[in-house]
């Protein structure tokens, strides 16, 4: 429906309106998180030189399935033709990004692959993603409430505000990995592959 013109501001505005109608049905605390992430997304878009409207569209829709139950996510995934892997069955929450991307493509009329990829991989990041997806990823992670709950995110926010999205994404994955190891949780393989793809490790601050 948006062939050839899917990145035009008017088209994106329309898509954001469609996504916002769905967001308005989500729990208040989730809506508030989405709002905070969108605010940070605008700041980071200017810093990283990416299209703030496309970032805003991705952030508006990134958590559409965040409040769904495990059963609902597994059932929706199966209905959408996703065969849940062992990790998805163990942590169905990992499906909330992929399901949101499917909703945005099918119901939201979004054809912009970078926006859909950013939504799909906003939890773990993934190899091969660029600055738009990184902006979405980082805005979701360094919104003020999350930084308050996890003080180590301040270092990630500082790196992001310094303008190097690769450094900031690597630092996030590295520090989350350390946190998960302390908790005895296996880090997600996509995050590990993304970390390797982004290059050199960050020297711990």
Q: Please identify, using beta-carbon distances, which residue of 11 and 138 lies nearer to Fe ion.
A: 138
Cα–Cα distance measured from residue 29 to residue 140, given in angstroms and rounded to the nearest whole number: 14
- Count of other CB atoms within 10 angstroms of residue 45: 22
What is the closest distance, in whole angstroms, from the C-beta atom of residue 5 to Fe ion in the complex? 28
Which range in 11-19, 62-70, 124-132, 184-192 contacts Fe ion by CB under 5 A? 62-70
Using the rule CB under 5 A, give the single segment among 15-23, 68-76, 110-118, 135-143 that binds Fe ion. 135-143
Q: Per-residue x/- marks for Fe ion, 11-50, CB under 5 A?
A: ----------------------------------------
Q: Answer yes or no whether residue 140 interacts with Fe ion by CB under 5 A.
A: yes
42 closest CA partner among 135, 124, 121, 104: 135
Least distance from C-beta 63 to Fe ion, angstroms?
Answer: 4
Classify residue 188 by burial, with Cβ atoms within 10 Å: 0-12, 13-18, 19+.
buried
| Separation CA 135–CA 151 (nearest Å) | 20
The Cα 18–Cα 133 span in angstroms is 21
Tell the residue number behind the tokens 């569209």, with chain if given: 57
How many chain residues are in contact with Fe ion, going by CB under 5 A?
A: 3
The CB-of-8 to Fe ion minimum distance in angstroms stands at: 26
Instruction: CB nearer to Fe ion: give 11 or 117.
Output: 117
What's the closest the beta carbon of residue 59 comes to Fe ion, in angstroms?
8
CB 86 within 8 A of CB 160: no
Residue 183: exposure state from Cβ atoms within 10 A (0-12, 13-18, ≥19): exposed
Q: Which is nearer to Fe ion, 6 or 52 (CB)?
A: 52
- State yes or no: residue 143 binds Fe ion (CB under 5 A): no
Is 63 a binding residue for Fe ion by CB under 5 A? The answer is yes
């Amino acid at each position: 429906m948006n062939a050839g013109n899917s990145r035009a501001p008017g088209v994106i505005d329309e898509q954001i309106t469609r996504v916002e109608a769905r967001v308005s049905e989500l729990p208040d605390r989730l809506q508030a998180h989405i709002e905070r992430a969108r605010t940070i997304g605008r700041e980071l878009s200017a810093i990283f030189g990416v299209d703030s409207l496309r970032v805003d569209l991705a952030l508006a829709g990134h958590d559409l399935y965040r409040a769904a139950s495990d059963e609902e996510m597994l059932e929706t995934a199966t209905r959408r033709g996703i065969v849940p892997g062992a990790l998805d069955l163990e942590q169905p929450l990992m499906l909330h990004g992929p399901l949101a991307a499917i909703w945005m493509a099918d119901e939201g009329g979004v054809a912009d692959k970078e926006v859909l990829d950013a939504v799909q991989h906003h939890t773990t990041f993934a190899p091969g993603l660029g600055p738009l997806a990184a902006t979405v990823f980082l805005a979701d992670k360094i919104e003020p409430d999350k930084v308050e709950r996890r003080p180590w995110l301040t270092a990630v926010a500082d790196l992001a505000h310094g303008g190097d999205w690769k450094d900031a994404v690597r630092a996030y994955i590295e520090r989350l990995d350390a946190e998960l190891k302390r908790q005895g949780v296996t880090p997600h393989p996509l995050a590990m592959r993304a970390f390797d793809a982004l290059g050199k490790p960050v020297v711990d601050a």
